[in-house]
Amino acid sequence: MNADDARRALRWYPRAWRRRYGDELVALLEDMFGDEPLSRRCRISLMWSGTTERMYEMSRRFRKTYAGYSVACAVVWAVILATVSSTADSSTRHTLMLVFGGWWIGWLSATIARAVYPPPKRRVGP
């Protein structure tokens, strides 16, 4: 394994993570594998860990923001809709779609209101 292969595998990780830990991980991989190429299991593990680290970084960046709330709601609704559509009967799916439609209308109106009527600026002092 050469250092370029290890660095290529590390592209799954966020840039800040690679700057901080990348050289150490490359050295560890070189010690573990020597001249042999990275195993498939190691590549999959690096891919999984890097993706997890990117998700964690993204969650820190969007935590307590409206964009983060919107993405989280979309993910939760996607899981609920996929589960119910594959397991429930027609009337339950219809009811859930009505609930989802109502939630979506509320979310859309709140999003438009946030864009059109931004919150007032904070006043400093009397």
Q: Find the largest Cα–Cα distance for the chain.
A: 70
Which amino acid type is present at position 85? Answer: S
pLDDT tens-digit readout, 16-44: 888 998 888 888 888 888 888 888 888 89
Which amino acid type is present at position 11? Answer: R
User: What pLDDT was estimated at residue 100?
Assistant: 92
pTM above 0.75, yes or no: no
Domain extents in the chain: 3-62, 66-116
| Helix count and strand count (H, E) for the chain | 5, 0
Question: What's the whole-number average pLDDT of the chain?
Answer: 85
φ/ψ (deg, to 5) at 106: -65, -45
